[in-house]
Amino acid sequence: MSFTSCQKAVYDDVDTPVENKAGIPIKFIVSSFERMDARSMSFSRGTDVRSVCSRLNLAVYNGKRKIKQINQLSTDSNFGTLQLTLPEGKYKIVVLAHNGAKNPTMTDIEKIGFNGKLTDTFYYCADITVGSEAQSFDVDLKRAVAMVRFQTNKIPANVSRMKFYYTGGSSSLNALLGEGAVKSRQTEEIVVSTDMVGNPGSFDIFSIPRSDSNLLTMEVTAFNNENAQIFHKRIDGIQIKRNFITELKGSFFGNVGDGGGETVNGQIKLNLFSKDEWQTIKMTY
């Protein structure tokens, strides 16, 4: 399965240098994740950082001004331990863990933007005071996103690509509040591989819930190799919540000779796990 996306944003990975003063060594160690593995549905709160994310980003703010950013890849030997020096003083720290293709833009703590496809994303935001001695902080990351899992009946042989266009959520994070920062129009495109054909489909997309909206509107379209639309549905009123999976299940491709049919909004059934795992909202369409 391959992924593309057309969420548009401009990104700047350049660090703003700290003032030229003697610095105090500060260390941040990623200690735990709020997570339920979305595929196996098995709970984990371990510290195997590489099994959760491929990128870590840490930004330091003096007030709301970013003064330093550190970026790590899972291939780095010290992945999960972020070290820097800071002059004595009070700061706000934001740490992000995700699987995005590029580093996010963290210039504005209230509007952190992600490049391209939004992935399962975790965040940490805290105030620290740097004194005269070296310090170490444990980083306990919380999930920032909601997931929609779109489940279908068997995928026909003439389907080559799925497109998901959805509104109601956000692709930017307000790290101070832990919620979506802007109203986003998000698009996710997924290539249908040969091993997916003939089997029920399951497609995961992510959005950051906003305080003024907990509902998505989604248009799902299937294309053939000639880029012609062959199936399409619009689904309104998709409930989302941070750390919840909303499962949408139905016969998207219809029955034999059926072009997909009308969209029918289903009843919502809650299936709750413990509070720090992925939780599930189930709907039919």
Least confident of 14-23, 101-110, 125-134, 270-279: 270-279
Mean pLDDT of 233-260: 82
Residues 165 and 235 in one domain: yes
Q: Is residue 3 part of a domain?
A: no
Residues 122 and 207 in one domain: no
Mean pLDDT of 39-59: 73
Confidence check: pLDDT of 19 > 70: no
When divided into structural domains, the chain yields a total of: 2
State which of 126, 143, 160 marks the end of a domain. Answer: 143
pLDDT tens by residue, 76-85: 999 999 999 9
Side chain identity at residue 134, one-letter code: A
CATH number at residue 241: 2.60.40
Residues 107 and 166 in one domain: no
pLDDT tens by residue, 117-162: 999 999 999 999 999 999 999 999 999 999 999 999 999 999 999 9
Q: Is residue 1 part of a domain?
A: no
Mean pLDDT of 31-54: 65
pLDDT at 192: 97
Side chain identity at residue 49, one-letter code: V
Residues 178 and 254 in one domain: yes
CA-CA-CA-CA torsion for 177, 180, 182, 185, nearest 10 degrees? 180
Residues 23 and 136 in one domain: yes
205 touches 164 (CB < 8 A) = yes
Q: How far apart are CA 152 and CA 109, in angstroms?
A: 38
Confidence bin at 263 (pLDDT 50/70/90): very low
The two tokens of residue 222 are 């299937």
pLDDT tens by residue, 183-193: 999 999 999 99
Containing domain of residue 158, as a range?
146-284
The two tokens of residue 53 are 């994310």
State which of 114, 143, 172 marks the end of a domain. Answer: 143
Work out the widest C-alpha separation in the chain, in whole angstroms: 74
220 touches 235 (CB < 8 A) = yes
CATH number at residue 30: 2.60.40.10
Confidence bin at 38 (pLDDT 50/70/90): very low
Confidence check: pLDDT of 66 > 50: yes
